[in-house]
């Protein structure tokens, strides 16, 4: 692997931008991991988060080694209700439906008050890690395709832009690993924030299903919605704290 591209201004700029992009694209992954691991006993939560993010990194690196194969998965395999389904479409469809189902059941447990009972049920470290691996594969597809599209056309015969993608992926996963505990505690200790996060995951699932059917919707809309919702909720939290202080 040729690292010479890292010693150019273009290479460094792309590395910085792509690292930020990978961190942003990893937010939905870390939110899912934070919520799904909250059902585990306290001693296993951190272990499950670390294993989940480590597996996410491994899955991304493995998929990066099959870049050419992934990009060829756009070839239609079959047609259903006048929609062509490729290998990528099937991954997005299955992942989107799984994300919608899992997020919806989590929301139902929170709303009905069965969350505490479910936490004492048959939730094992193995089952949680299995679910994390399934969703890691879907999010990794999205992350890698975005990274490849962004670096397309970089480099020449002697410079390989793939090294930038590898380093950006590794760096972004290290950042998420460092802050995963803080994000998980912040989400799970605030019921309203957790509900917003679950709604965000349902929306991501819907977008994945829509993309599987050939309807590409820019993810900027989702991120704007989640940032706006969180900003409103932070104002509500500030207002409630001020009322408590004033009493």
> Model confidence over 60-91: pLDDT tens digits?
888 777 766 766 677 777 787 777 888 878 88
Of 194, 158, 168, whose CA–CA distance to 32 is shortest? 194
Whether residue 175 contacts residue 23, with contact meaning beta carbons closer than 8 Å, is answered with: yes
**Average pLDDT over all residues of the chain:** 78
pLDDT at 120: 47
What is the arithmetic mean of pLDDT over 36-41? 82
Element (H, E) at 80: strand 78-80
Crossing angle for the helix pair 191-212 and 27-37, to the nearest 10 degrees = 130
**Residues sharing a CB contact under 8 Å with residue 43, sequence separation 6 or more, in sequence order:** none
| DSSP assigned state of 49 | H
Of 32, 213, 223, whose CA–CA distance to 140 is shortest? 32
- What are the tens digits of pLDDT across the range 180-226? 888 888 888 888 888 888 888 888 888 888 888 888 777 777 778 88
pLDDT band at 157 (very low <50, low <70, confident <90, very high): very low
Q: And the tokens for 115? A: 């969350």
Domain boundaries, given as residue ranges, for the chain: 4-246
Count Cα atoms within 13 angstroms, Cβ side, for 142: 31
Rg value, the chain, Cα: 20
Whether residue 29 contacts residue 134, with contact meaning beta carbons closer than 8 Å, is answered with: no
Torsion angle in degrees (nearest 10) through CA of 38, 176, 194, 17:
-160
Whether residue 205 contacts residue 106, with contact meaning beta carbons closer than 8 Å, is answered with: no
Whether residue 204 contacts residue 222, with contact meaning beta carbons closer than 8 Å, is answered with: yes
What are the DSSP E strand ranges found in 172-236? none
pLDDT band at 150 (very low <50, low <70, confident <90, very high): low
Question: What's the predicted TM-score (pTM) here?
Answer: 0.75
Whether residue 188 contacts residue 38, with contact meaning beta carbons closer than 8 Å, is answered with: yes
């Amino acid at each position: 692997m040729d690292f010479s591209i890292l010693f150019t201004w273009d290479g460094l700029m792309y590395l910085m931008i792509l690292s930020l992009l990978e961190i942003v694209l990893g937010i939905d992954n870390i939110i899912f991991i934070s919520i799904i691991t909250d059902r585990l006993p306290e001693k296993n939560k951190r272990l499950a988060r670390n294993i989940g993010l480590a597996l996410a990194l491994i899955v991304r690196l493995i998929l990066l080694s099959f870049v050419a194969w992934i990009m060829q998965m756009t070839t239609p395999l079959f047609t259903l209700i006048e929609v062509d389904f490729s290998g990528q479409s099937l991954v997005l469809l299955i992942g989107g439906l799984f994300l919608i189902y899992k997020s919806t059941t989590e929301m139902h447990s929170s709303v009905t008050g069965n969350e505490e009972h479910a936490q004492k049920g048959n939730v094992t470290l193995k089952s949680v890690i299995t679910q994390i691996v399934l969703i890691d594969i879907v999010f990794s597809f999205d992350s890698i395709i975005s990274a490849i599209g962004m670096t397309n056309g970089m480099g020449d015969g002697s410079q390989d832009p793939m090294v930038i993608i590898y380093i950006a992926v590794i760096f972004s996963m290290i950042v998420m690993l460092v802050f995963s505990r803080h994000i998980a505690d912040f989400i799970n200790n605030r019921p309203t924030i957790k509900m917003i996060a679950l709604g965000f995951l349902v929306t991501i699932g819907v977008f994945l299903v829509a993309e599987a059917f050939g309807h590409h919707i820019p993810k900027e809309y989702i991120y704007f919605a989640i940032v706006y919702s969180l900003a409103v909720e932070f104002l509500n939290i500030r207002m409630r704290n001020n009322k408590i202080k004033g009493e």
